[in-house]
Amino acid sequence: MPPARRVVIAVFPDVDLLDVTGPAEVFALANRQTAGRAGYVVQLAGRSPGVVTTSAGVRLVTDLSFTEVDGAIDTLVVPGAVDLRPGGPVARIDRDVVAWLRTTAPLARRVASVCVGAHLLAAAGLLDGLTATTHWSTAEQLAADHPAVVVDPDPIFVRCGNVWTGAGISACMDLALALVAEDLGEAVALTVARQLVMYLKRQGGQSQFSVPLSRPPAARRDIDELRAFITDHVDGDLSTAALAARMCLSERHFARVFRQETGTTPAAYVEATRVEAARRLLESTDQPLDRVAAACGLGSVETLHRALRRQIGATPAAYRRRFRTAG
């Protein structure tokens, strides 16, 4: 049996519950799916042994105090907490956690923050010079408070060396699955994802908001149904003429209705959807660029280049180098 992988999760008063239990569940399922061969051992560490009340009111019991954490740590997980103010949520900085991180992080093989836990890593100086993400609602706060950190508010998670930062709330599951994939391979991570009934194991480069979720629901049900059709048929004929014919409308009237309901033109929406599909393939496969372009309905490598530069400001090759997570 391989040595146990020790996972230590920091907890403190009003910590977000899912930030703690989400990753813990992923590691537990990895143990179950590998009949214990994964060997993850999860420990909760707090200011002192005992009960910690989370933001949801649910109480957790720590396994040990911060001062009792010694020896090697495989993965140090840092969740977060927010204070709700009139201007919006503000990440809470727990000074005891920050001080503990400064001394404990060097003991860990890797460090991962969940949601606004990135603010705690940054306060401890662990993100200086690195690119990091956090929940979209506190990204501006992170950038303002820590100019030495390159804040990217878009991705689900970002990895810089042995430091991982994850986006908000349920993205903690995606981050934990990526950690499992690094340890045990994509097949095990996908099996765990299926057990969690997760629709898709999202990769790090994916946006916190997919194209459909970044637009509010339309008042017209037929437009929402058309948006779903576009997502499911990115490699098909999605020209304005074809979409208008599907809606039984003239091109001019269709374009006007679509823009009124979605805030964008049919062509722009289709391109954004195709780029999102291309990003998934660039992150999760080694398919050549011509096949990626064809599979996403972008036609040619040249069109793929232009679309990615327009949408995300990167070339396909650069994007793949940054976000490719599978071997």
Which residues neighbour 169 within 8 Å (Cβ) at sequence distance 6 or greater?
16, 18, 19, 115, 135
Neighbours of 140 (CB within 10 A): 12
Residue 155 DSSP label: B
Which residues neighbour 201 within 8 Å (Cβ) at sequence distance 6 or greater?
174, 177, 189, 190, 193
Q: What distances in angstroms separate CA 233 from CA 63, 96, 217, 273, 289, one per listed residue?
A: 50, 51, 19, 10, 19
User: Is 115 noted as a catalytic residue in this protein?
Assistant: yes
Neighbours of 109 (CB within 10 A): 12
Inter-axis angle of helices 266-284 and 316-323, to 10 degrees?
Answer: 50
CB 227 within 8 A of CB 261: no
Of the residues 115, 172, 248, 296, which is catalytic? 115
How far apart, in whole angstroms, are the C-alpha atoms of residue 144 and residue 138? 10
Question: What is the β-pairing status of strands 108-113 and 73-78?
Answer: parallel
Q: Which residues are catalytic?
A: 115
